[in-house]
Amino acid sequence: MDLERILFTQGFGSRRQCRALVADGRVSIAGSLCTDAAIDIASDALASFEFQVDGATWRYREKAYLVLNKPPGYECSRDPQHHLSIFHLLPLPLTERGVQCVGRLDQDTTGLLLLSDDGAFVHAFTSPKRKVAKMYLATTRHPLDDAQLCALRNGVLLHGESQPIAAVSAKQRDERELELSVLEGKYHQVKRMVAAAGNRVEKLHRERIGGFGLPDDLAEGQWRWLDDADLTMLRQS
């Protein structure tokens, strides 16, 4: 694959813009300035191929898999209505290559958010048929009690739904801290479930999807690439 196409697939603009990046001396390979956009990189070398644009190092990735620690006050939309988009937190090449949220979090909900430009990956972790558990930590307005926990475990009927929805698990961590795991991703689901059980969510934080937990060293508002080990954990129930 030639350098121009590599830059194009990695989100650095149109083919013409990518040629201009090289012509303007903004692209380096292994620390050396590259002025030939037609230079070819062997297919078997792409997996480990690194390049620099304006001094920042990038590695070629056929598909993008990211984790973001979402802060409050951001919408999971490219066309936000009332707050900044979470895409403001990502480098431009990632948004240009078309990464999308793997399920949305409300603007006031924080924590684990996956993003990818791999449609099959997005579908696998958003389709209710796949039954991937998502674990949340909810801070409630009122103290939790056994009746509320039992209702969540046994199923609560939400407005507009024909069948009760039960949590995979509902555990009390503190007087007003609830650990809740659900399979579905319905609109405001956790907040609505807690309300149907007789309480109210004041804060909501997603901690885990499948077997993958939000990394402890990932600060709020920061992102990183998912590696093979992360992807393996995600697929664990």
The tens digit of pLDDT for each residue in 168-221 reads: 999 999 999 999 999 988 889 999 999 999 999 999 999 999 999 999 999 999
Say if residue 39 is in the same domain as residue 143.
Answer: no
Say if residue 73 is in the same domain as residue 12.
Answer: no
Say if residue 205 is in the same domain as residue 218.
Answer: no
CATH of the domain at 200: 3.30.70.1560
Residue 216, amino acid: D
Point out the least confidently predicted range of 120-129, 135-144, 175-184, 195-204. 120-129
**Catalytic-role residue among 2, 106, 108, 230:** 106
Reduced to 3 states (helix: H, G, I; strand: E, B; else coil), residue 192 is helix
Q: Which whole number is the average pLDDT over 73-94?
A: 92
Say if residue 71 is in the same domain as residue 102.
Answer: yes
Say if residue 199 is in the same domain as residue 221.
Answer: no
Say if residue 139 is in the same domain as residue 103.
Answer: no
Q: Catalytic site residue 117?
A: no
As for how many domains the chain has, the answer is 3
Say if residue 174 is in the same domain as residue 229.
Answer: no
Q: Say how many C-beta atoms besides its own lie within 10 A of residue 8's C-beta.
A: 20
Rounded to whole angstroms, how far apart are CA atoms 11 and 18?
Answer: 9
Structural domain containing residue 84: 65-127+212-234
- For the chain, the C-alpha Rg in angstroms (whole number) is 21
Cα 223 vs. chain centroid, distance in angstroms? Answer: 9
